[in-house]
C-alpha cells in the first residue's frame, strides 16, 4: 500500500492547522492536552497501518549501496547526533510513557565496556581491536562527565538528572562509534536492522501495539508543544493580544468544523465574524450570511497557520474587511429613481426641462 503525495500534503496542512489552533487556545489559556492529543492521533493514525509500514520498510532497503552513498549516510547520522539534538530527542523519550522502568538486575546492565563490544559485534568488527581504537576518546568523554557532574555511573537517574552534561557525553560516544566504523559496515548494520524491523511488522497483533505507542507519543508531543508555546507567549505578552482577535477565532472554529474536530462550529464562526464588524459594515451586510461565509472561505484558503502569522503582523483584520467589501460590491446594485412634485406643466417649464436634459 503506497501513500500518495496528495495524502502527505493534506497531512501536512492538517498538522499546521493543529499547531495553529493549539497556539490560539494557548494564547487564551484554554488548552486541553487530551483534546489536542486525540486530534494529533487522528492525523497520524491513517498512515501508520501495518501495510503501509511494510511497504516503507521494503522501500528503505536498496539493492546496492555505492561507497560514496555510504559515506553520505554516515555523515547524515553524525549530523543527527549533536549534543543539542541528543538533548532534544533522545533524553525526552522516557517522558512519552511517563513511567520509570526499574532495573531488576544491575549485574546485567549495559556498561560502557559492554556497549563497545556489542557495537563491534553488530557492525562485524573485531571487538578487541575496536575497543582499543575507541577507548581513548570514550574515556575522555567519561572523565569530562564525571568532572562536571560528580557521578560515578551512567544510570538513567544520573543521566536525566544532568541532561546537558549527559547530552554532551552520549553525543561524543555515539559519534565516536559511528566515526570509527567503516561506512560499508555501518550501512550493512542498518540494513540488517531494517530487515529485523520488517520481521517485527509481520507479527500478529502489531497494529494494537502501534496505536498504543501512538497514543503515548501523541500525548507527549501535545504536552511538549503546549509547554513551549506557553513559554514563548510568556516571553512575548504582546503576541497574546494580537492572536486573541475574533477574526482568528472565526477561522479556528471554521477549521475545526472542516476537519471534524468539533460539531456545529461553522455557524458559530460566521456569527463570531459578523459580531466583530464595525456598525457600518454590519448595516451593509444586514443578515446576509453568504457574504460572511464567502469571506471566511476566501481568507481561509491561505491556511490557518499563515493567517495566524498575519494576525501577529496586524494584517488579518484588514484582509477580512477587504474581502467582505469585495463581496458586498459584487452583489449590491444601486438604482436611482427620479421623483418630481406634482405640478402643472407649462410651456416654459417644459422648455426648461428639455434644456437641462440636453445640456452639453
In a domain, 280, yes or no: yes
Nine-digit cell string for 333: 446594485
Whole-angstrom distance between the N-terminal and C-terminal Cα of the chain?
77
In a domain, 110, yes or no: yes
**Signed CA dihedral, 154, 160, 161, 163: sign only:** positive
Give the model's pLDDT for residue 193. 83
Q: What is the DSSP letter of 332?
A: -
Give the model's pLDDT for residue 246. 94
Could you write out the DSSP letters of every residue in 265-300?
A: -HHHHHHHHHHTS-HHHHHHHTT-HHHHHHHHHHHH
52 shares its domain with 112 = no
Give the model's pLDDT for residue 49. 77
In a domain, 340, yes or no: no
174 is in which domain, residue-wise?
67-200
304 shares its domain with 269 = yes
Give the model's pLDDT for residue 188. 86
Q: Considering 217, 236, 255, which residue would you say is the last residue of a domain? A: 236
In a domain, 313, yes or no: yes
129 shares its domain with 163 = yes
254 shares its domain with 196 = no
25-69 residue pLDDT tens: 999 998 999 999 999 999 988 888 777 777 777 776 666 667 777
Tell me the C-alpha distance between 125 and 117, whole Å. 9
Give the model's pLDDT for residue 117. 94
96 shares its domain with 148 = yes
How many distinct structural domains can be found in the chain? 3
226 shares its domain with 186 = no
Give the model's pLDDT for residue 248. 95
143 shares its domain with 169 = yes
User: What pTM does this model have?
Assistant: 0.69
Give the model's pLDDT for residue 335. 41
Residues 265, 253 contacting (CB under 8 angstroms)? yes
Tell me the C-alpha distance between 274 and 267, whole Å. 11
300 shares its domain with 189 = no
In a domain, 182, yes or no: yes
Tell me the C-alpha distance between 352 and 183, whole Å. 101
In a domain, 250, yes or no: yes
20 shares its domain with 114 = no
Give the model's pLDDT for residue 24. 96
Q: Considering 200, 221, 253, which residue would you say is the last residue of a domain? A: 200
In a domain, 194, yes or no: yes
Angle between helix 5-28 and 33-44 (nearest 10): 170
Give the model's pLDDT for residue 234. 92
Q: Is 303 left (phi over 0), alpha (psi -120 to 50) or beta?
A: left
Give the model's pLDDT for residue 238. 92
Half-sphere exposure (Cβ direction) of 282: Cα atoms closer than 13 Å: 9
In a domain, 318, yes or no: yes
Residues 327, 295 contacting (CB under 8 angstroms)? yes
Query: What are the start-end ranges of the H helices in the chain?
Result: 5-28, 33-44, 50-59, 67-79, 83-88, 93-97, 112-122, 127-149, 156-161, 163-179, 183-201, 206-235, 237-243, 246-258, 266-275, 279-285, 289-300, 304-312, 316-331, 347-357
Tell me the C-alpha distance between 205 and 198, whole Å. 14
Which residue matches cell numbers 464562526?
A: 269
* Nearest C-alpha neighbor of 45 from the set 11, 71, 95: 11
Tell me the C-alpha distance between 66 and 68, whole Å. 5
222-246 residue pLDDT tens: 998 999 999 999 999 899 999 999 9
124 shares its domain with 186 = yes
177 shares its domain with 193 = yes
- Mean pLDDT per block of 10 residues along the chain (360 residues) reads 73 94 94 94 85 74 71 88 84 56 55 91 94 94 93 85 91 94 88 80 78 88 92 92 94 93 85 88 79 91 95 93 87 47 52 52
92 shares its domain with 18 = no
Query: Do you know the residue count of the chain?
Result: 360
Report how far Cα 351 is from the mean position of its chain's Cα atoms. Answer: 77
Amino acid at each position: 500500500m503506497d501513500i500518495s503525495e496528495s495524502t502527505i500534503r493534506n497531512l501536512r496542512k492538517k498538522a499546521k492547522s493543529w499547531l495553529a489552533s493549539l497556539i490560539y487556545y494557548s494564547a487564551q489559556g484554554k488548552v486541553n492536552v487530551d483534546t489536542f492529543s486525540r486530534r494529533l492521533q487522528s492525523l497520524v493514525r491513517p498512515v501508520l497501518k501495518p501495510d503501509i509500514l511494510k511497504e516503507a520498510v521494503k522501500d528503505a532497503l536498496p539493492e546496492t549501496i555505492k561507497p560514496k552513498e555510504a559515506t553520505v549516510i554516515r555523515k547524515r547520522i553524525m549530523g543527527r547526533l549533536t549534543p543539542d539534538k541528543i538533548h532534544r530527542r533522545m533524553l525526552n523519550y522516557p517522558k512519552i510513557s511517563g513511567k520509570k522502568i526499574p532495573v531488576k538486575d544491575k549485574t546485567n546492565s549495559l556498561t560502557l565496556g559492554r556497549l563497545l563490544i556489542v557495537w563491534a559485534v553488530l557492525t562485524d568488527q573485531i571487538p578487541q581491536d575496536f575497543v582499543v581504537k575507541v577507548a581513548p576518546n570514550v574515556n575522555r568523554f567519561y572523565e569530562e562527565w564525571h568532572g562536571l557532574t560528580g557521578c560515578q555511573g551512567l544510570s538513567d537517574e544520573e543521566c536525566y538528572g544532568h541532561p546537558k552534561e549527559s547530552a554532551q557525553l552520549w553525543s561524543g560516544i555515539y559519534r565516536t562509534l559511528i566515526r570509527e566504523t567503516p561506512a560499508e559496515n555501518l550501512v550493512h548494520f542498518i540494513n540488517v536492522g531494517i530487515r529485523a524491523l520488517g520481521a517485527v511488522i509481520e507479527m500478529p497483533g502489531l497494529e494494537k501495539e502501534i496505536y498504543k505507542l501512538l497514543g503515548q507519543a501523541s500525548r507527549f508531543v501535545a504536552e511538549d508543544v503546549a509547554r513551549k508555546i506557553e513559554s514563548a507567549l510568556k516571553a512575548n505578552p504582546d503576541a497574546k493580544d494580537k492572536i486573541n482577535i475574533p477574526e482568528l477565532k472565526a477561522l479556528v472554529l471554521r477549521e475545526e468544523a472542516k476537519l471534524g474536530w468539533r460539531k456545529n462550529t461553522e455557524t458559530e464562526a460566521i456569527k463570531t465574524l459578523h459580531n466583530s464588524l464595525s456598525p457600518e459594515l454590519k448595516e451593509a451586510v444586514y443578515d446576509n450570511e453568504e457574504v460572511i461565509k464567502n469571506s471566511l472561505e476566501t481568507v481561509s484558503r491561505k491556511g490557518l497557520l499563515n493567517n495566524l502569522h498575519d494576525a501577529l503582523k496586524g494584517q488579518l483584520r484588514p484582509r477580512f474587511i477587504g474581502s467582505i467589501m469585495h463581496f458586498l460590491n459584487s452583489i449590491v446594485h444601486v438604482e436611482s429613481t427620479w421623483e418630481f412634485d406634482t405640478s402643472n406643466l407649462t410651456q416654459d417649464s417644459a422648455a426648461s426641462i428639455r434644456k437641462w436634459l440636453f445640456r452639453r
